[in-house]
Amino acid sequence: MEFKKDFKKDSKMSIRKIAEHLQKHPRAKVIFVIGAGVSTACGIPDFRSPKTGLYHNLSKLNLPYAEAVFDIEYFKENPKPFYTLAKELYPGTFKPAKFHYLMKLFEDEGRLKRIYTQNIDTLERQASVGDEYIIEAHGSFASNHCIGCDKKFPIETFKEKLNEPKANLPLEFDYASCDACESLIKPNIVFFGEGLPEKFFETWDEDLEWLRKEVDEKHLVIVAGTSLTVYPFASLPSEVPSKTARALFNIGLVGDFKSDPRKSDLVFNGSSEDAAQCLIDELGWSEKFEKLINKVDTEEKKEEITANEEVMKIAGELQKLDLSISSKGET
């Protein structure tokens, strides 16, 4: 593997070399390090893009500064901006992209070691990737806690407040509060002013040790869709052992790939979706990928049918009850 100076020209060649590497070393597994760029194909804007990023679009909320929406001290004073954003981004609003399903396919093929994600959208989980493979470095909507006493609460505690606006006003909320100390409840998303989960640091240390011990297996680290500007997450690629191959799927060079490139680095200049499709093709996984997508679509349709049946069942029971009450009234 050789680092390509003209990364625009040699992007597809880099994907081919990655596929050849994985085929040549059947025991090699992949650690994915991903950011917001992986989810933009789902319709979720990233945070920092001019004019289209989430921070730019939050200007209507009159924040003192864009990042205040994720500032723990500001949240204590004014939870409304975060609630407004959460309502827009809450899991279930968007569906996983091709890249998410590619990572699931790596799991199915026994080639996935871990996914380190900056994203809070839980789309890896929605793509049915196993929990044991996912490290949400900045947390996610998957669980909630009280910011005062740290009491844990089920997902519904926060979600129902988003779905039940105060006084029927779509952007006015009855904020979720703790029944023990009356402090605000929020999802376990890491805000500015909060520390990253211990699990992130512990698992990364374990995986680094695994890479060092299994250097002969030729494992691979793929970084995708991230600007590598937020630390400590941004430091992960630089900490990858020098004998472990690294790859970058991104629009332009970023982080350690730009400041301290390695001769063995492989770079795909483009979207993570294009990179996913190229890698699927090069690995000969197109049929497997289609089967995975069809399986997911079938399961979603079954869930939708089941949900509709439950609604109809409840409606039927209510109708019977109404008729029963009416009948008694007539007598």
pLDDT in tens, 90-134: 877 789 999 999 999 999 999 999 999 999 889 999 999 999 999
By CB neighbour count within 10 A (0-12 exposed, 13-18 middle, 19+ buried), where does 11 fall?
A: buried
* Residue 198, pLDDT score: 94
Max mean pLDDT among 8-22, 156-170, 216-230 falls in: 216-230
pLDDT the model gives residue 241: 97
Q: CA 223 to CA 183: how far, in whole Å?
A: 38
Confidence of residue 37 (pLDDT cuts 50, 70, 90): very high
Mean predicted lDDT score pLDDT of the chain: 84
The confidence score (pLDDT) of residue 202 equals 97
Residues in the chain: 331
Annotated binding-site ranges for Zn(2+): 146, 149, 178, 181
- pLDDT digits 0-9 by tens, 219-231: 999 999 999 998 9
What angle do helix axes 11-24 and 272-283 make, rounded to 10 degrees? 40
- DSSP codes, 245-293: EEEEEESS--HHHHHS--TT-EEEES-HHHHHHHHHHHHT-HHHHHHHH
Between residues 292 and 331, which one has the greater pLDDT?
A: 292
Q: In the prediction, which pLDDT does 4 show?
A: 37
**Is the confidence at residue 174, as pLDDT, over 60?**
yes
Lowest mean per-residue pLDDT among 186-195, 208-217, 229-238, 243-252: 186-195
Higher pLDDT pick, 98 / 66: 98
d(CA 246, CA 267) in angstroms, rounded, equals 9
What does the H/E/C string look like for 221-239? EEEECCCCCCCCHHHHHHH
Binding site feature residues for NAD(+): 36-40, 46-48, 118-121, 226-227
Query: Would you state the pLDDT for residue 281?
Result: 95
What SS3 class is residue 65?
Answer: coil
Handedness of CA 46, 51, 52, 56 (dihedral sign): positive
* Rounded Cα gap, residues 94 and 96, in angstroms: 7
* Band (173; pLDDT cuts 50, 70, 90): confident
Most confident of 77-81, 86-90, 281-285: 281-285
User: Is residue 5 over pLDDT 60?
Assistant: no
Pairing of strands 220-224, 139-146: unpaired
Residue 103 is predicted with a pLDDT of 98
Averaged pLDDT for residues 137-163: 90
Binding residues: 36-40, 46-48, 118-121, 146, 149, 178, 181, 226-227
Could you give the residue numbers annotated as active site? 138
